[in-house]
Amino acid sequence: MEKNRVISALVLIPILISFIHFTPAVLFLLLIEVVGLIALSEYHRIVLPNATKNDKIFGYVLNFLLIGAVYCSEYTHASWDIFQVTLAAFFLVVFYHITVTQGKEYSQLMDSFSRVLLGVVYCAVLPSFIVLIRLNKSVEFIYLLLISIWAVDTFAYQAGRSFGKIKLLPKISPKKTWAGSAGGFLGAILVICVGKYIYFSEFSYLQAITLGILVSFTAQVGDLFESLLKRAGGIKDSGNLIPGHGGLLDRIDSLLFAAPIYYYFITNLNL
């Protein structure tokens, strides 16, 4: 298992760096589009295992279009933003369920509507913020986010293994502890403070600490949210795409929740 994790990391990290650092924005968009579609397929497996073919196709098309619309709005400086794009997606989901899903029971209709809408937000709206960071900020900001997320996971694991006694939310994720959570906060704060010292001089240390707290909190909530989905779906991993790691959602659950607050924090500070 550990060998597979290392091999996967050695293969995927250079590919990720290439897309972040050496490719034009449109290729980075395509990477996020692919990530969004794979994430949605895993989400369907967990949350919508009995979805019809039409439901899945609708979800994939809407997912692809929403991320692309966010990119186009920023790249062309159009008058719409991510909230207007999300609102349009909401109305499309409503229209689809009103017109295409005739014949379903009302309880089934509302259940399908809520699950499809959640999938759009989870697998399209949240990844779109990574595109916004890439378009509006330097690539170093993406690296800082990714490394801080890695620090949350690593410090939380080590702190939990060494000092974890009291369970955090045992019904959702039995292995997580309060000590591990505290370690996650420490990891994100340290990474962002070191980043401020080495490269991001525009940060104050107070801002770096605040951002570290926000990133760690949202990352841990994202991890717990995916654990909740998997527990509700009765599965251990979202998939088996990445050897030693499970599915793609298992790797990006923290990133998806941290990206929006990270984006708005650095944007509002004009960093």
Task: For 37-74, write each residue's pLDDT tens digit.
Answer: 999 999 999 998 888 888 889 999 999 999 999 999 88
Q: In the prediction, which pLDDT does 79 show?
A: 65
Residue 191, SS3 per DSSP? helix
Between residues 2 and 173, the one the model is more confident about:
173
Largest Cα span, the chain: 61
C-alpha distances in Å from residue 266, one per residue of 16, 59, 183: 22, 31, 24
Between residues 183 and 240, the one the model is more confident about:
183
Q: In the prediction, which pLDDT does 14 show?
A: 81
For residue 49, how many C-alpha atoms fall within 13 Å in the half-sphere facing its CB?
9
pLDDT digits (tens, 9 = 90+) for 185-235: 999 999 999 999 999 888 899 999 999 999 999 999 999 999 999 998 888
| Residue 196 DSSP one-character state | H
For residue 263, how many C-alpha atoms fall within 13 Å in the half-sphere facing its CB?
19
CB 82, CB 128: distance < 8 Å? yes
Start-to-end CA span in the chain (Å): 40
pLDDT of 164 over the 90 cut: no
Of the candidates 8, 63, 7, the residue with the CA atom closest to the CA atom of residue 32? 63
pTM higher than 0.85: yes
**Rounded mean pLDDT of the chain?**
88
Region 132-138: mean pLDDT is: 91
C-alpha distances in Å from residue 163, one per residue of 96, 177, 183, 184, 186: 50, 9, 10, 13, 14
Predicted confidence band at 269 (pLDDT cuts at 50, 70, 90)?
confident
CB 133, CB 262: distance < 8 Å? yes
CB 265, CB 214: distance < 8 Å? yes
Between residues 105 and 60, the one the model is more confident about:
60
One-letter amino acid for residue 173 of the chain: S
Beta-bridged to residue 173, according to DSSP, are: 169
User: What is the spatial distance between Cα 163 and Cα 214, in angstroms, rounded to a whole number?
Assistant: 23
Could you give the percent of the chain with pLDDT greater than 70? 92
Of the candidates 189, 172, 266, 268, the residue with the CA atom closest to the CA atom of residue 227? 172
Most trustworthy range by pLDDT among 15-19, 180-184, 201-205: 180-184
C-alpha distances in Å from residue 178, one per residue of 163, 166, 186, 220: 9, 6, 12, 11
